[in-house]
Structure 1
Amino acid sequence: MLPMIKKSLHCILLLLAFGASALLFSAHAQEIHIAYADEELPPFAMGNGPEQPHPPGIYVDLINRVAHELGITVKFQRQPTKRGQIMLKNGSVDALFSLSYAQERLELGQYPMKNGKPDGSRRIGAVAYYLYKLDNSPVEYDGKTIKNATMAIGANLGYSIAGDIRKMGLAVEEVKSTDSNLKKLQLARIAAFAGQDIDTDALIEAHAYARIVKLPIPMASKDYFLVFSNQFMAQHADMAEKFWTRLGEVRDGMTKTLAVQYR
């Protein structure tokens, strides 16, 4: 009888200890709201529209992994690119992915920095931009300048490549999605399209845009980041730093493993 009583008391103490630990965890746990684009960027963000599909994409998986390790609950919401940036700026969301670094974007939020520069070791990923044109178009790109463009160059709304093209002295037309830009290019309504190859190549193949060709020289290869709002950083800078650091530690290994699942 005595051993049974001891065993019961031991179980009760374990339950009490677990309960206390759970309460302590809850007291320190935080909930953060993270926005990302409502246009797919496979395999990093899957699906179009406001709903998050399953599987959601490598970037979402990475963030969930780090958040779980740090005891953070993440609430995701999908928004059009430009709207998401506005929400980050006004603090309606705590963070936004994925943004490349640009000086003018520092008003939106804060990046992981090192010696006054964005810390690429703590990026969420990297993407290359290429120029796409019609097969009979004279448009060329020599690694520095776009030549023979008699109309505007297409770009996705809110993407940093648009600013790079404007610095070349060329007109840019921005629309919401990669698919919309490819349709405009197919109809010869723009001279070329500057897009991220990871989703542009997939859409060209999926929709049989047979006349659209990809120029061989990349326009840019950019690191992309999880950017925290200035409002969030004012109160939780330590948490953001830990999040960025752990993201950098797990990124490459997880991305390599997950890429196989998303093929």
Structure 2
Amino acid sequence: MQTRCCRNTTAPGLAALGLLLALCAPPAVAGDCPAQLRIGVIDYELRPLLLAGERTATAQGLLIDWVRQAVSRSGCALALSFERMPVRRGRVELERGNIDIWAVALVDAGLYEQGALPMPRGLPDAMLGFYRASYSLYVLAGETRIGWDGDKLSGPADLSVGIAPVQALVDLSRDKGWTVDRAVDTPSALAKLLSGHNLAAILPDLAIAAQAPELTLKLHRLPPPVLTTWYHSPASKPFAARHPAFIRSYWLELCRIGRAEQRETLPCREP
């Protein structure tokens, strides 16, 4: 898929080039436009990508805007519907083809079977992840019994680490041999940490950074991050098979938009 070039008379730096590319819209995906797009969205807050709200409320946040922009840049005019749902249900609905796209996901082994991802060499393409995400260990401010050096976690013998229902975090914790308390979602994992139910929790750094100052002052982050990876937006396999040109355009443009917003200098590879 070729894109139109934006005219520029100067040689931009890498950051400026990323922003420039994000403004370059591709031509219409001729003959491959779906009539509608059913998009599943996690039902909890992940600021700034997704804002809080009731499950029945309209999904809002940067990610919703980016999805709309990515679809618009394909040149296709289609109806978009967003439905908020728990992660487990969303991945089941994706596998069954009841939704066309699951808006945001961390890649794990199960996702390869449940959905379609840009995988030019049999692995998720980091050059098409749309947002760099990091997850870190957090403890309450003033907690001195727990240590993390990037490899080993030390603390009381009965230490339990709270985690959100993210399979990549489950797998990582299992590999480390950590005892975990799996919360229903990220806000629940944070609440359990704040209440003292867990002495430590693995939480997304972007979500914690977006919290109110009075809350973040209660927390202490233990560097380095436990996990740094890219968010992807997988499609259902039937949808990707029916509309290969459209989904390639969607992945590429979502990558460009998200990286421009983060001021990422790493370019997006065309699928």
Is TM more than 0.5 here? yes
Q: Distance in 2 between matches of 1:227 and 1:161?
A: 18
Percent identity between the two aligned chains:
22
Match of 1:128 in 2: 134
Matching of residue 60 in structure 1 with residue 64 in structure 2: yes
Show the 5 A alignment for 1:95-174.
Answer: 95-134=101-140, 135-149=142-156, 150-174=158-182
Show the 5 A alignment for 1:168-207.
Answer: 168-203=176-211, 205-207=213-215
Give 1:204 shift. 6.4
Give 1:95 shift. 1.0
User: What's the secondary structure of 2:235's corresponding residue?
Assistant: strand
Q: Distance in 1 between matches of 2:32 and 2:201?
A: 50
Which of 30, 45, 48 is the equivalent residue of 2:50? 45
Alpha-carbon deviations, 1:85-123, whole Å to 9, x = none?
Answer: 121122211110211222222122011123222112222
Match of 1:216 in 2: 223
Q: Distance in 1 between matches of 2:107 and 2:33?
A: 31
Give 1:220 shift. 1.3
Structure in which a larger fraction of residues adopt helix: 1
Q: Distance in 1 between matches of 2:150 and 2:144?
A: 18
Partner amino acid, structure 2, of 1:73: A
Alpha-carbon deviations, 1:48-91, whole Å to 9, x = none?
Answer: 322125xx222111110111222133211111122211211222
Q: Which runs of 5+ in 1 are unaligned?
A: 1-24, 257-263
Distance of aligned partners of 1:206 and 1:114 in 2 relative to their CA distance in 1, 3 Å threshold: farther
Q: Distance in 1 between matches of 2:107 and 2:229?
A: 8
Q: Is the 8 A contact 2:190 2:203 kept in 1?
A: no
TM-score relative to the length of structure 1: 0.78
Match of 1:230 in 2: 237
Whichever of the two has the greater Rg, that structure is 1
Q: Number of aligned pairs?
A: 229
Partner amino acid, structure 2, of 1:185: L
Distance of aligned partners of 1:62 and 1:189 in 2 relative to their CA distance in 1, 3 Å threshold: same
Q: Which runs of 5+ in 2 are unaligned?
A: 1-29, 264-271
Structure of higher RCO (CA pairs closer than 8 Å, 6+ residues apart): 2
TM-score relative to the length of structure 2: 0.76
Alpha-carbon deviations, 1:22-44, whole Å to 9, x = none?
Answer: xxx99955211011111111111
Give 1:182 shift. 2.4
Distance of aligned partners of 1:178 and 1:209 in 2 relative to their CA distance in 1, 3 Å threshold: farther
Matching of residue 78 in structure 1 with residue 114 in structure 2: no
User: What's the secondary structure of 2:104's corresponding residue?
Assistant: strand
Q: Is the 8 A contact 2:150 2:223 kept in 1?
A: no
Match of 2:96 in 1: 90
